[in-house]
Structure 1
Amino acid sequence: MHWIDWVLVTGYFAFILGFATWISMRARRKQAMDSASFFLSGRDAGWWVIGASLFAANIGSEHLVGLAGTGAASGVAVGQFEIAASLILLLLGWLFVPFYLRNGVFTMPEFLERRYSAGSRWYLSIISIIAYVLTKISVTIAAGGIVFEAIMGINFWAGAVAVVAITGIYTLLGGLRAVLYTDFIQIFVIIAGSLTVTLFGLDKAGGWSEVHATAGRSFFNMWTNPDFPWTGLVIGVPILGVWYWCTDQFIVQRVLSARNFHHARGGTVFGGFLKILPLFLFVIPGIIAHALAQKGMLELEDADAALPTMVAALLPVGFRGLVVAGLLAALTSSLASVFNSCSTLITFDIYKKLKPDATERSLVRVGRVATGFLILCGLAWIPLMKLVSGELYKYLQSVQAYISPPITAVFLVGLFSPRVNGRGALAALLTGFVLGTARLVLELNAGALGPGPLRSLVEMNFLHFAGVLFAFCSVVLVLVSLLTPAPDRERLRGLTLATGVEGEVREKASPLVIAASVLLLVTVLAIWVVFSSWGVG
């Protein structure tokens, strides 16, 4: 990298750290740092901050590397996950948000306890914390080290430590408020960096029509990719999406910080519009890289190297620093979000559960200690990652797809049916965990399996498996609930659609939010038409 690129990258880090510190100090001058301020930004976040943070927290290494790599390998079909997320965010705002905000919960496991039982809360808390440490934290740290090493020439370990240290400092100091406002700034850096790669790539390839002609019509069809069959997209993607966007603490914590229902819903709609961008900022650049490689204008040894290869080969001095800053903005925002969400779970679902009389000051202190502990876990995990094979690590990531269907089932069915109870929920969660783990173990030993039902189970597309597991867990939830005593309907007041509090669930929606929601639906439909067999010409 040229010295100008270095100035841009170091300037970015200095600005983010300084901005986060200023936000934290400003908040402390206004009021004492209580638990609501540290973990939920004082519950006064506006829709623009919430939507931006939903987007920035979500953009991680799987987008920086995975989306562009899959786009280079097979085209736009992988963009379905991003487009579907726009619709799922509408579901978050219009169905789930009223229940979460009215009950004033800090965490998703806390809501699950109110709806079902303490056992359900413990299950979701432990599963979430373990998954965050082993997957989200570790993979983001590793991606940061790779960016430093591959593009900037800095040692992997030094880069990884730098990402953890800078992100950890401002998360520990300012809590969610610092995370939210830095996310708002960082989306501009992410978009600017990714857009720069797209424009330079298109110029090098000779324009959009040339890319389309070189890559081929099949690369621009979202519905005909064998890795992502349309049946799986229709059935499996919404199940995984509801878990991630509507029930996962990592995402929903941003909405819990809203100042009211209107800002919460507005934030989800704004986030929905932003989620359309990855198709054009990450997937399309991957296709451009593929087209350049086909024309002999770019050496692409591996599809996953599409984005960094384009950065190294196409961008002039100054622009490379901008793109690297964008990559690091995506990684730090994602890491900051998981630090804050995981520390919230540790504080409220473990510490406060064991010590219900804890003071506000002790809750904030534990939150900071938990954040520090997670930083140390992240650093300690870096050398251990070298001992984990790439294939096993891929399966560690995929386990989230196997544990999500039962969680989606208990949340969704629980909102619609007041008859399902805590015993049914725990049975469904444990059944789903056992079956999902079984699928994971079978995948790890797929080579030793002969023809038969087990082989068919392993070879089933993961999106189809998610649909089957969701249906099975829903049946378990309903059957066990019907065979055991019904919950007290009075206790469920405000926790299901049938036992909602009049006036709050049906609160009059803002006409602007309604119009924006309709526009988002129309936009998604238009994209589906354009990127289909009859829309791409």
Structure 2
Amino acid sequence: MADSLDTIDYVVIGIYFIAVLCVGIWSTCRPNRGNTTGYFLAGKSMHWIPVGASIYASNIGAPMFIGLAGTAAASGLAVTIYEWIAVYFLVALGWVFLPVYISSGVFTMPEYLRKRFGGKRIRMFSSFFALIGFILFNISIEIYSGAIFLQQILKWNMYLCVVLILIVTALFTVIGGLASVIYTDTLQSAVLLISATILAVMGLNEDQLIVQRTLSAKNMVHAKAATLFASVLKLTGLLLFIIPGMISRILYTDDIACADPKSCEEFCNNKAGCSNFAYPVLVIRLLPKGLRGLMLAALLAALMSSMTSILNSGSSIMTMDIWRQFRKQAPQSELMIVGRLTVLVLVVLSVLWLPILKSAEAGIIWFYMQAIRSYLIPPMCVLFVLGLFWKKLTEQGAFWGLILGLIVGIIRMVLDFSFRAPLCGSGDPDNRPAIVSKVDFLHFAAILGLVTTGAMILISMFTEPRPDRKLKRVTWWTRNDEDEPELSSDEEEDFGFDSENEQRQPVETLDNEKCQMLQKCKDWICGTIKEPKSKLSPEEKGLLRKKMTSLSEKTRNRRILNCAAVLIIIGTTVLIAVFH
């Protein structure tokens, strides 16, 4: 039984990283990299396969391998529901939410909120909330999950592993933008599916021996097809995560299902249990040489996929939703630099949060991840659903409903982290407040959603709704309107097309080749390459915007996609019913 990687494993890992690096660099050579549309939306030219693969890969980061497999090792098949329920939301994304977002012509969700509600409060709130959330329950969890795996596999120092992974991840995001993210995600998804399937099959064979039993699409059509593709991939969670986690518990019961806190601490330095190590232990002990390296590459791919998407989103939000509030006439070069600096800041803050996460949660990744989202996310979900379907939801109702929901959620989160549950088998009494011990995080999420909904509706009934002329193309009922929404002067913004007011700085003459080379390197890294371009006429800009916001679909394609969506929903429902 192997306890460490062999030379061939390191060779496989090296080859993988070289391949990913080449894909990332190749993607930076694509057109439109030097403007916000190209950098943040990949030029609106992506095929449904890479977009769907990117959606899938972005969602199955290291927490899915560590947390989901670990939870399966501890409690069995029930956790599969988390994955399968996501299929319904992915279909809803393609058929309900995306049409409105595309029609409104926005880059980010905060930008949509500005067009839907007007004013700046909600947009700024959601922007800062998103950036904090990236640190609190996205980037830090990804880093911690990856550290757990690398520590078990490579026996490296955790922070050395973290720094190396973040440098490569940030490099891809900073240099390539969303196009680099999507193309590398496509490669990583292939590696992930192949190697995880191999592990599942090999694990099933060993089980049998013991107990005799195992988001920039081209158009609306590609956008819908991408969500369906991602939905199908989500159904593989049972094979990729759940079953391997259960197999690991069967094969290595003494380690993964340690009977008492003392033995757990000896194996994984965690008195609460070692189920989080189910997947890493299975990889290092079961797979042969070479395949161990491939699986490690797949897990690092999952980590990097999620990290690149998160960092790109954070960069977009800071640039388009916050910075331009203070610098409305900022040139494209300045926006590019701000986006890249945002990536670096998010990385640094997430690393600083890592020790707090490690000490507070004792490695219980999955429940930390789900609990903290249950405390903070429901108000935002209510906001988008009501904003999409109820035209009378006002800015005041939305804003103060968000504030109330945030206060209630933070109170519950503080109580949850202040009063820890007694260790299993310790015999200690549960002295936590009833709101913590009697109401789990999923039930609390439902309660918080109802409280927020009531507050938003009640306040909106006593405040003036937004006029219909300002709701064109920003709700489900107005998504097909021909006219753009009427915006006041303080709400007008450039929506991502190259601005005619871009400040053109005089190009200084450099005296020697060395300075010229340094200038070219700086321009390439910062995205400030000056490309000759002609000024668009109002008619040309109108045609460009019409193309980017079009919801047109050929009748044949629409029918095929609708039938596929129905079949996927029926299949998912059958799976849930069978395994319930």
Report the TM range for the smaller structure's normalisation: 0.7 to 0.9
Q: Distance in 1 between matches of 2:361 and 2:439?
A: 23
Q: Distance in 2 between matches of 1:169 and 1:273?
A: 31
Q: Which amino acid aligns with 1:480?
A: I
Q: CA deviation at 1:505?
A: 6.3
8 Å CA contact 1:211, 1:291 repeated in 2 = no
Q: CA deviation at 1:139?
A: 2.1
The 1:309/1:467 distance shift into structure 2, 3 A limit, reads same
1:19-39 per-residue CA deviation (whole Å, 9 max, x = no partner) reads 1011112x1xx3451001111
Question: 1:494 aligns to what SS in structure 2?
Answer: coil
Question: 1:358 aligns to what SS in structure 2?
Answer: coil
Q: Distance in 2 between matches of 1:188 and 1:63?
A: 17
**Structure 2 equivalent of residue 38 of structure 1:** 39
8 Å CA contact 2:135, 2:350 repeated in 1 = yes
The 1:31/1:497 distance shift into structure 2, 3 A limit, reads closer
**Structure 2 equivalent of residue 266 of structure 1:** 225
Q: Distance in 2 between matches of 1:382 and 1:497?
A: 41
* 1:438-453 pair list within 5 angstroms: 438-446=411-419
Q: Distance in 1 between matches of 2:420 and 2:82?
A: 29
**Structure 2 equivalent of residue 216 of structure 1:** none
8 Å CA contact 1:19, 1:182 repeated in 2 = yes
Q: CA deviation at 1:299?
A: 7.7
Question: Larger C-alpha radius of gyration, 1 or 2?
Answer: 2
* 1:253-402 pair list within 5 angstroms: 254=215, 257-293=216-252, 302-382=274-354, 388=360, 390=362, 398-402=371-375
Q: Distance in 2 between matches of 1:187 and 1:202?
A: 22
Is it true that 1:428 corresponds to 2:476 in the alignment? no
1:187-233 per-residue CA deviation (whole Å, 9 max, x = no partner) reads 01111221122111111111798247xxxxxxxxxxxxxxxxxxxxx
Q: Distance in 2 between matches of 1:71 and 1:382?
A: 25
Q: Which amino acid aligns with 1:517?
A: A
Q: Determine which of 439, 462, 468 is the counterpart of 1:460.
A: 439
Q: CA deviation at 1:380?
A: 4.3
8 Å CA contact 1:421, 1:486 repeated in 2 = yes
**Structure 1 equivalent of residue 13 of structure 2:** 9
Q: Give the count of matched residue pairs.
A: 484
Q: Which amino acid aligns with 1:46?
A: H
Q: CA deviation at 1:475?
A: 1.2
Q: Which runs of 5+ in 2 are unaligned?
A: 259-263, 265-273, 422-428, 483-549
Is it true that 1:480 corresponds to 2:459 in the alignment? yes
Q: CA deviation at 1:519?
A: 2.1
Aligned-CA RMSD value: 2.6
Q: CA deviation at 1:330?
A: 0.5
Q: Distance in 1 between matches of 2:61 and 2:34?
A: 29
**Structure 1 equivalent of residue 563 of structure 2:** 515
Q: Distance in 2 between matches of 1:444 and 1:531?
A: 33
The 1:277/1:109 distance shift into structure 2, 3 A limit, reads same
**Structure 2 equivalent of residue 188 of structure 1:** 190
8 Å CA contact 1:46, 1:258 repeated in 2 = yes
8 Å CA contact 2:32, 2:39 repeated in 1 = no
Q: Determine which of 7, 21, 24 is the counterpart of 1:20.
A: 24
Q: CA deviation at 1:447?
A: 6.7
Bigger mean CA deviation after superposition, 320-329 or 284-293: 284-293
8 Å CA contact 1:69, 1:305 repeated in 2 = yes
**Structure 2 equivalent of residue 162 of structure 1:** 164
8 Å CA contact 2:376, 2:406 repeated in 1 = yes
Q: Distance in 1 between matches of 2:420 and 2:220?
A: 52
Is it true that 1:49 corresponds to 2:50 in the alignment? yes
8 Å CA contact 2:248, 2:278 repeated in 1 = yes
Aligned-pair identity in percent equals 33
Q: CA deviation at 1:354?
A: 1.3
Q: Distance in 2 between matches of 1:386 and 1:523?
A: 39
Q: CA deviation at 1:390?
A: 2.7
Normalised TM-score (structure 1)? 0.84
8 Å CA contact 2:27, 2:179 repeated in 1 = yes
Q: Determine which of 143, 146, 157 is the counterpart of 1:144.
A: 146
8 Å CA contact 2:137, 2:372 repeated in 1 = no
Q: Distance in 1 between matches of 2:473 and 2:52?
A: 26
The 1:174/1:122 distance shift into structure 2, 3 A limit, reads same
Bigger mean CA deviation after superposition, 116-125 or 385-394: 385-394
Q: Distance in 1 between matches of 2:51 and 2:340?
A: 22
**Structure 1 equivalent of residue 381 of structure 2:** 408
Bigger mean CA deviation after superposition, 356-365 or 368-377: 368-377
**Structure 2 equivalent of residue 469 of structure 1:** 448
Is it true that 1:73 corresponds to 2:74 in the alignment? yes
Is it true that 1:114 corresponds to 2:118 in the alignment? no
Q: Which amino acid aligns with 1:6?
A: Y
Is it true that 1:499 corresponds to 2:499 in the alignment? no
1:227-251 per-residue CA deviation (whole Å, 9 max, x = no partner) reads xxxxxxxxxxxxxxxxxxxxxxxxx
1:269-310 per-residue CA deviation (whole Å, 9 max, x = no partner) reads 11111111112100111112233346x898865222111111
Q: Distance in 1 between matches of 2:213 and 2:409?
A: 40
Q: CA deviation at 1:383?
A: 5.5
Q: Which amino acid aligns with 1:463?
A: L
Q: Distance in 2 between matches of 1:477 and 1:292?
A: 52
Higher helix share: 1
Q: Which runs of 5+ in 1 are unaligned?
A: 213-253, 533-537
Normalised TM-score (structure 2)? 0.78
Q: Distance in 2 between matches of 1:186 and 1:11?
A: 13
Q: Distance in 2 between matches of 1:153 and 1:457?
A: 37
Q: Distance in 1 between matches of 2:256 and 2:236?
A: 25
1:153-175 per-residue CA deviation (whole Å, 9 max, x = no partner) reads 22222211110011111111100
8 Å CA contact 2:416, 2:436 repeated in 1 = no
Q: Which amino acid aligns with 2:280?
A: P
Q: CA deviation at 1:134?
A: 2.6
Question: 1:510 aligns to what SS in structure 2?
Answer: helix
Q: CA deviation at 1:443?
A: 1.8
8 Å CA contact 2:256, 2:275 repeated in 1 = no
Q: Determine which of 123, 126, 138 is the counterpart of 2:125.
A: 123
